[in-house]
Amino acid sequence: MGAFDLANPVFRLYVVAAAIMTLKLMGQGWATVAVMMRRGRGYASPEDLRPGAINRAPDPAQLDPDPAVERARRMHRNDPENIPGFLVAGLLFVAVAPLRAAWLLMDGFALTRAGHARPTERRARTRRGRRSGLSARSPWRRWRSGR
């Protein structure tokens, strides 16, 4: 039995965890789009304002940042930073074959990344009842509005 054989329980664990992480990496972009479509805001570029089957009522306000969409977008950008490192480190664990440590670390990583995948859509409110986040005076808003 070689280290990179499906008879090796550490390699089997790695294959399952790598498949889950690859699916998450591929699916997070679609999850970001789903949040963007559900919220109707947070579009990334002016090209998204073209009228069509998906955006029937384009409005320039749709380009304003939305906290839920921005969170989903940050999660999408975070995956390519972490998952490739996991895939490389996982192969090193398979080569060394520490079964107990591999189970703990690979399962822990896969479960925490999968649990991190659900974007929250709660609106944080300030004492005055406004949504917290980017204020009207923030540099991002001024840049987006051309002021």
Domain boundaries, the chain: 9-145
pLDDT tens figures, 87-123:
998 888 888 867 777 778 878 888 887 776 665 444 4
The dihedral through the CA atoms of 125, 131, 133, 138 has a sign that is negative
pLDDT tens figures, 5-22:
888 888 998 999 999 999
pLDDT tens figures, 28-51:
999 998 998 888 888 888 888 888
H runs (alpha helix) in the chain: 9-39, 67-96, 99-115, 139-145
**Global model pTM greater than 0.75:** no
Pick the residue with more confidence: 136 or 69?
69
Give me the CATH topology for the region 9-145. Answer: Four Helix Bundle (Hemerythrin (Met), subunit A) (1.20.120)
